[in-house]
Amino acid sequence: MKTRIIGSLEVSAVGLGAMGFSHGYGPGATGDDAVDLMHTAYDLGCTFFDTAEAYGAGANEELVGRALAPVRDRVVIATKFHHGDARTPAEAAKEIRGKLDASLSRLGTDHVELYYQHRVSDSVPVEDVAGVMNELISEGKILGWGQSQATAEQIRRAHEVTPLAAVQSEYSIMERMFEADVIPTCAELGIGFVPFSPLASGFLAGTVTAEDSYTGDDVRRVITRFDSDNIRANQPLLDLLTAVAREKGATAAQISLAWMLHKNDFIVPIPGSRTLDRIQENLAAADVELTDDEFDRIESELSTIEIHGNRTDEDIATLKTLN
């Protein structure tokens, strides 16, 4: 497995998002099966594992901690926290410290390599958060910190106080809004960029059909790119990926990941694989290298393709109101 550097952390070029083992995408591997899959991912060269306190109300952190305990000193664990009602700097510091201690307990470790602010709070200045992160780094409880779905301005303000190791935000061949300013800002400041949903919640694997349906807490119920009409309308994109994949002896998903890996050497995607074949396929994307000509061809054809549907936090929030 090739490696990349984000902040001061060396990680596998493709990581593993663990959220789906606990919730978000319908039935899948859980418990011992999920632990075995994470062991397999490590055996295949994955050293970068992502979780959060919010995934399964802490259960996902416990699962990741159990799976990685035998190789704890050889992997990078990233987790995240959400702000509550903190208002003053002292309240924010107390809240963050309490959340980190709870995460460390669930993970069964005395530190995490990367600690993200899951969403930037409107009520707590980023400078206050960055100050707390500096203290936690000094204490050895975290090795680096980051933000999720942050703006370029928020990144710059926070980075001035305590340099960020990474920014984790949605990014895929279907969702490119952060190419305008956030990714260039990360390039300028030496910050890693970690795309979540790099396969557009599985859409770019090319196996989704307009007849598919989703139930329970499966987020695809409310992500508009999975509306039947949008699935049909996005077929030109899948046709492009399939054509390139056929020429490269790869899969559409691997081409999607290879495309972003080609763009910048500080980008490290974390696809949320939950089955053995998907883990094998996605991690193997690190070995699928596009030539400059192949990359330019994809970019040129993408410029003529309209993308239909997206994923928003607001839409995800409506999932709680569905039966």
Residues taking part in catalysis: 55
CB-neighbour burial class of residue 263 (10 A; exposed 0-12, middle 13-18, buried 19+) = middle
How many Å apart are CA 191 and CA 156, to the nearest integer? Answer: 11
Backbone angles phi, psi at 78, to 5 degrees: -115, 135
Rounded distance between C-alpha atoms, residue 221 and residue 226, angstroms: 7
CA distances, 33 to each of 58, 59, 65, 109 (Å): 18, 15, 14, 22
* 216 and 26 Cβ atoms separated by less than 8 Å: yes
Tokens of 131: 């100050």
Q: Quick one: three-class SS letters along 46-100?
A: CCEEECCCCHHHHHHHHHHHHHHHHHHHHCEEEEEECCCCCCCHHHHHHHHHHHH
CB atoms within 10 A of CB 89: 15
CA 249, 251, 255, 257 torsion: positive or negative? negative
* 257 neighbors 199 (Cβ within 8 angstroms): yes
